[in-house]
Structure 1
Amino acid sequence: MNAARNTVLEAWMKEHGYSSNGLAEAVNKAQERLTGRFGGHDGSSVRAWKAGRVRWPKSATRKALEDVTGLPATALGFVPRGRTPATPSPPQEDPDVNRRTLVGGMTAAAVAAAVPGTAAPRRIGMSDVERLQRRFSEVIVSDVRHGGKLGIEQRAAALADEALNLQNAGGASQRVRSNLYACAASFRSSAMWAAIDGRRYDDAQRHMRVAQALAEMSGDQAIKFRIWSHAGSMYRHMGRPADALASNDVARGLHIARRDPLFACLGHARQAATYGLVGDAPAAQHALGRAQDALGRADRDAVRPVWMTAVRDGAEFETLALAAHLRLGNFAQAETHAHRSLTLLRPLMLRDRAINTARLAVAQLGQGEVDSAVATAMKIPAEIAAHARVTQTLQQFGDALRATAPSSPSVQTWADHTASRRTTT
């Protein structure tokens, strides 16, 4: 039997511009940082991974791959020994085309089942679930790199529909059906987050309602936490702190947050950011202390959903601490957390890096470091500066710059830079 190609790894390499030799070199360097010895991989090693001839690399190689990509090995399409590989993901297409193809296939299956002598509807199994989980990992990769794009939102919503359509495409066990609902909820939560990130709040709330219903049917605690935690962030960005605090309380009250300190860390840190929004410094400091304590108790090596990677690394805690202190006007502390977050963020997290760089500029400006603040803000690439949340932060920075130092030459430098950026994007 031929090995199934690792299409997820191939898609990741294509999106991030890696050749086989380039990825081998990056993994070798990461392995040297981990073990003190330069890795021995070359282009043929990576081609063996892509071809499926090596389904589960050695532990040192997997760890190096995870450091390079920011994703668990399973989210890169690798399959642990003893497990059956999932059906390879089909090529990406326009969401409407995917819907038409899927519905057309289901119709054909129903007609075939109605005709004597033809095959019955197929059995839906965990291989179908694993295929969808791979597609979910692809959505996460796109989100952490670009974020907020309407295309990501539409693609995630279409994949949620695909997961639900599978419920009617054949027989399945209760375990499989629960997992399909969890997949659908996961995709809807990503559509929700993309809409939040793009400041399309009406769409985000619509995705949230669907995602919450699907999560309840799945019984999956992790995806319930993600949806309610996203809701807290959404309401915080909308300027509705009471709703944000209530949503975060639901997330923090789930069993998974009591059982796993890493989930507790995220819950407390997002609560701290909301306390910063309302100016409650003691509550924010208390929540950040609880988040840091939980992070210290967490087992960083435990298997968790791919979207928890930045939490595991500590980058998400630093990001939310930065947001809280910035809102409270604690600019020196905000700058400290900004530098820490920029150190911890994985290279592919371009959107988060740009947002935190913009926040760093605001923190520097708040301390009277006008020239340094402008230099920091100018480091953000033009294509990322067009992201909705980055644009908003930079506009706030420009307003504060003109109010703080109206006669400074840096004001004109920033004006020239923003004008030039508008003409190149």
Structure 2
Amino acid sequence: MDAIRNTVLEAWMTEHGYSSNSLADAVNRAVEQLTGHVGGLDGASVRAWKAGRVTWPKSAARRALEDVTGLPAVALGFVPRGRPSPTPAPPQQQQEEPDMKRRTLVGGIAAAAAAAAAPGTASPRRIGMSDVNRLNKRFAEIIASDHRHGGQLGIEQRAAALAEEALNLQNAGSATQRVRSSLYASAAAFRSSAMWAAIDGRRYDVAKAHMREAQALAEMSGDQAIKFRIWSHAGTMYRHMGRPADACAANDVARNLHLTRRDPLFASLGLARQGAIHGTAQNRSGTHRAFEQAQDAMLRADPADYRPVWLLAFYDQAELDSLALSAYLSLGDYPTAEYHAHRCLSSLRPHMVRSRAITTTRLAHALLAQGAADAATATAMKVPADAATRHARVSRMLQEFGAALRATAPGSTTVQTWTEHTTTWRMAA
């Protein structure tokens, strides 16, 4: 007997925007959540389901598919082993009425699934990927605002409010497991942005509270990329707090996710941040080794691979050099720090306003430590007034620069020039 095509599964995939390959990937991730091992399906496996060559998938794949779709396998057109398939219609009837049969089969099972999911007379709202996509657009706006301003309380508050909005959608109607996981991932992403804004603004107690919420949401989402972001942020937070042991432990959680073995760009970011932590810990050899490995991993990364917007928006050669600049400043290797500062500034993208202010300030420190007070002061004066007065990290570094300048060249015209310049900053604030 010829295989009967599974038109129900095909209809579900079309409605929810899945190709054979993308559904295989989603099911493989769900298998990993269930068993701890990545599933072995590919596009050909799903095409076999659609063609009816496989009428009842193996147990792990079947349970994973049910998690992804939110429907039992029988509601997706699969037939359990031992249960007879529907008796085929006579050839002439099959030829005359294929469209009507398909509509009846799809419509009947869809109606049954809807009735099972929503008892009662009123149909609940259906939450779909369009809702997730709308949230993701607002996430991109948060990312852009962070790169322009950074560390602002307003960014933190907006990100936290959007995290709550994503969670509220969970209770606003019915949704597939894929959509629910995506909503948890969106909520975790927003919460991690709130966490980062608090870190950047040196509000560490608040950042820890955001971190705990983000970690819980990320676990519910099963999204490896957002788990990486949160734990990597945690490592950066502890580094800024002067706790390199905790920073290394948090960053190791990010680096040990299997995502870093699949994608060299994630591996590169984890290694670069590890290098910055080693710099804080005064581990010279560890710093040098980490940045060599980070550079090698970046060169191996395929730019065509899909990556989340938050990673693409900031991690590139300029950011790697920025982290190296921070590390070598901590180590007191000022010529190497200056080298990475110039490399970073030459390749920073225009939207990285906050990063440019931080890098310029660090370059001023590196120049001053090498005895070039005039060049250092001229460099520090390039920092925009907005960043100098409103960004907590930049403000603190500039205050430290002024103190070091006065200690290095007390009573000089350079100190007088710097004092007058900072007065104009305060007046503009």
TM-score by length of 1: 0.71
Cα pair 1:313 1:344 within 8 Å, conserved: no
**Which residue is 2:426 aligned to?**
422
Of the three residues 343, 346, 349, the one matched with 2:346 is 343
Deviation at 1:278, TM superposition (A): 1.5
Instruction: Find the residue that maps to 1:239 and give its secondary structure.
Output: coil
Identity over the aligned pairs, expressed in percent?
67
Instruction: Find the residue that maps to 1:120 and give its secondary structure.
Output: coil
Of the three residues 395, 405, 411, the one matched with 1:401 is 405
**Which residue is 1:226 aligned to?**
229
Deviation at 1:250, TM superposition (A): 0.5
Instruction: Find the residue that maps to 1:243 and give its secondary structure.
Output: helix
Pair 1:300 & 2:310 matched: no
Deviation at 1:198, TM superposition (A): 0.7
Alignment of 1:203-242 (within 5 A): 203-242=206-245
Runs of 5+ unmatched residues, structure 2 = 1-117
Deviation at 1:304, TM superposition (A): 0.8
Pair 1:330 & 2:330 matched: no
Pair 1:368 & 2:371 matched: yes
Distance 2:348 2:395 in 1: 20
Cα pair 1:354 1:384 within 8 Å, conserved: yes
Structure 1 residue ranges (4+ consecutive) displaced by more than 6 angstroms after TM superposition:
none
Cα pair 2:367 2:376 within 8 Å, conserved: yes
Distance 2:272 2:279 in 1: 11
Cα pair 2:149 2:353 within 8 Å, conserved: yes
What's the CA shift string for 1:221-280, capped at 9, x where partnerless?
A: 000000000000000111111110000111100011111110111101111111111111
Distance 2:425 2:149 in 1: 18
Aligned AA for 1:366?
A
What's the CA shift string for 1:300-339, capped at 9, x where partnerless?
A: 2322111112555311101100000111111111111111
Cα pair 2:275 2:291 within 8 Å, conserved: yes
Cα pair 1:198 1:388 within 8 Å, conserved: yes
Aligned AA for 1:262?
L
Aligned AA for 1:228?
W
**Which residue is 2:163 aligned to?**
160
**Which residue is 1:67 aligned to?**
none
Specify the structure having the higher radius of gyration (Cα): 2
Cα pair 1:262 1:311 within 8 Å, conserved: no
Cα pair 1:276 1:284 within 8 Å, conserved: yes
Aligned AA for 1:385?
A
Distance 2:377 2:306 in 1: 41
Distance 1:159 1:366 in 2: 43
Distance 1:289 1:404 in 2: 34
Deviation at 1:147, TM superposition (A): 0.6
Pair 1:279 & 2:315 matched: no
Deviation at 1:408, TM superposition (A): 2.7
Distance 2:303 2:369 in 1: 35
Distance 2:192 2:341 in 1: 27
What's the C-alpha RMSD, in Å, of the aligned pairs? 1.5
Runs of 5+ unmatched residues, structure 1 = 1-113
Cα pair 1:310 1:316 within 8 Å, conserved: no
> How many residues were matched structurally?
311
Of the three residues 246, 256, 260, the one matched with 1:257 is 260
Deviation at 1:343, TM superposition (A): 1.6
**Which residue is 1:289 aligned to?**
292
Aligned AA for 1:378?
M
What's the CA shift string for 1:201-226, capped at 9, x where partnerless?
A: 11100000000000000000000000
